[in-house]
Amino acid sequence: MVKILHFADAHIDMANYGRHDPESGLPMRVMDFLKSLDEIVQAAIDAQVDLVIFAGDAYKDRSPAPTYQREWGKRIMQLSRAGIQTLLLTGNHDISPATGRAHAIQEFETLDVPYVKVLDKPQFLSKDDLGGLPIQVIALPWISRSGMMAALELDSTDPSETYKILGERISELIENWLLEADPKLPVIFTAHASVEGAKYGSERMVMLGNDMVL
């Protein structure tokens, strides 16, 4: 049996108000976020999970302060040193709308951190991609409308029509991956996206722009 820990939408630097911790200098709200993140990481290590999936949005935007990058990096490196396969999907708050710009969690890919994979485009991960774990993953990070229009050479000016086409293309891609998948192994689908029929809570307020609905 494969043990998996999943979390998402950490937004560890959401601190527009409040007091600061006198020892670290960090906002108390950030300290609360980091405490929760510590609990998540420690739970993964204590339970000896095989796979951690973070489904996007480490920060409040794509340009986090170096201090927050340091704090996020400390926790991800703990998972790496524990030898836990870790998947980091990019969310809408992690990426730039401009083509070619680095995203907020780029450094883990650039530095080739052991056991950590950054997924900034739709991908199918086989058993071999996951260190031999008997599982397969279909990962769908946040997909910007402008980026997908450029990739698919679409020129529609109607947003609803564009999202309809994108949804169809993504569905085809996923169906093809499912056909290629090893039927003897389970497949996990993880995404940073809106789901048709979902009921949203207050966190909906931090979404940026229009979403493609799956």
Please state the rounded mean pLDDT for residues 170-198. Answer: 89
| pLDDT tens sequence across 69-116 | 999 999 999 999 999 999 999 988 888 766 667 888 888 988 999 999
What is the structure's pLDDT at 203?
56
Please state the rounded mean pLDDT for residues 7-30. Answer: 82
Please state the rounded mean pLDDT for residues 28-49. Answer: 94
In this predicted model, which residue has the larger pLDDT, 207 or 148? 148
Backbone angles phi, psi at 44, to 5 degrees: -65, -40
Task: With respect to residue 211, please indicate whether it lies within any of the assigned structural domains.
Answer: no
Show the tokens assigned to 82: 């524990």
Task: Assign residue 89 the CATH number of its domain.
Answer: 3.60.21.10
What is the structure's pLDDT at 208?
45
Please report, rounded to a whole number, the percentage of residues in the chain having pLDDT higher than 90: 47
Looking at every residue in the chain, the average pLDDT score rounds to 85
Q: How many Å is the maximal CA-CA distance in the chain?
A: 56
Task: With respect to residue 134, please indicate whether it lies within any of the assigned structural domains.
Answer: yes
Task: With respect to residue 212, please indicate whether it lies within any of the assigned structural domains.
Answer: no
Separation between Cα atoms, residue 205 and residue 68, nearest integer Å: 22
What is the structure's pLDDT at 198?
64
- Name the pTM for this structure: 0.86
Residues 6+ apart with CB under 8 A from 137: 53, 87, 124, 125, 129, 130, 187, 188, 189, 190
Write out the residue range of the structural domain in which residue 18 sits: 4-206
Taken in order 18, 23, 25, 26, the sign of the CA dihedral is negative
What is the structure's pLDDT at 212?
58
Task: With respect to residue 162, please indicate whether it lies within any of the assigned structural domains.
Answer: yes
Task: With respect to residue 126, please indicate whether it lies within any of the assigned structural domains.
Answer: yes
In this predicted model, which residue has the larger pLDDT, 87 or 207? 87
Task: With respect to residue 213, please indicate whether it lies within any of the assigned structural domains.
Answer: no
Number of domains in the chain: 1
* DSSP codes joined into one string, the chain: ---EEEE----TT--SSS-B-TTT--BHHHHHHHHHHHHHHHHHHHTT-SEEEE-S--SSSSS--HHHHHHHHHHHHHHHHTT-EEEEE--TTTS-SSTT---TTHHHHHTT-TTEEEE-S-EEE-TGGGTT-S-EEEEE----HHHHHHHTT-----HHHHHHHHHHHHHHHHHHHHHHS-TTS-EEEEESSB-TT----GGGGG--S---B-
In this predicted model, which residue has the larger pLDDT, 84 or 26? 84
In this predicted model, which residue has the larger pLDDT, 42 or 164? 42
| pLDDT tens sequence across 122-161 | 999 999 999 999 999 999 998 776 666 666 666 666 667 7
